[in-house]
Structure 1
Amino acid sequence: MLYRRPRGVLKLLLVSCAFIAMALMAFWLTIRVRAFNPQPDPPAFGLVSVNPGQTLRLNVVNRLTPPTDPDRLGRSTRHAMLAFDMYRADVPPGPCATAHRFADRQSCEVTLAPGEAASFDLTSAAEIGLTQVLPAVQDDDRNQSPALVYTLEVRENGKTILLLPAVQRSNTYGG
């Protein structure tokens, strides 16, 4: 006499195997998925107050070493836009926080070969008074080890009174 399994047990076994296979597949796929930042944020500065007669100088340098082969120079060249976004107070300053509105943007574009540097100056006019400025940079440098390094100087009477390095982009991607 042959032993026969009940049909209900066979169905339960098949459904269980299918469920386990789907769970393993879903788990395997979640292990392979990793988050990444395809375009890291550019270096950044905070809002800076500029008094009449002071000058802001935004500096950038391409820190790559010049290639020995001149044909490879194009791969090391970087493009950047240096800008100053100016904001004016909507109300006279008081003991509370003052709201500012965008007033103007001055910018310039530079192309830097390895070892080259550029500066962009903004002088605050006496008739305008205190100005809030947001230095901004945009570049095509999307490597994990950025070639462009930015600094901001506050100058008065031809002397640097403050030097700020930019908050640099992260070298690692989240994951």
Structure 2
Amino acid sequence: MRKIWLVGLFLTTIFTACVTIPTPEPEKTPRFITPIPPQETVHRFVRYYNERNSSMLYSLFSEKVRANHTVEEVENHLRLAEVYGVKIVEWKQVGKERILHPYRFLNVSFILQLDGNVSNVTVLLPTVFENGDFLIDKWIFRELGWEEIVMEQEQQKSVRL
């Protein structure tokens, strides 16, 4: 009987050594990746505009805008901005952000410097959440309005001659 008891103890010891009881893992808390706010997109727009970085500037536009405009159009606009010395000196959000799904609308005031002259332009800027980021959903270059100012200056110069 003693041998049976020892064999049983031996087998029980081997069996319990082979079986591992899993330790409970702590619950993983869900991680949410919050998107960069639309204001950061405007900040990047100003930075890339002043750096004359056409490819990065083009990447800030939504698929809808990119379907209607090419990177060459951005390059042409930036080339003209370089010729006339256009720079966005400052920007600020005017009023509150409006949300109308899937858009977020920002009223943005840009302070432009054009050959030493300063002008203020306010633009209603729609942004849309695409591919994990807020992108500009409007061809904003017409809204900046400095091209009209340049044309007026050119006309005034030609009238003086």
Decide: shared fold, TM above 0.5: no
Structure with the bigger percentage of strand: 1
| TM-score normalised per structure 1 | 0.31
Higher relative contact order (CA 8 A, sep 6+): 1
State the structure with more CA Rg: 2
| TM-score normalised per structure 2 | 0.33
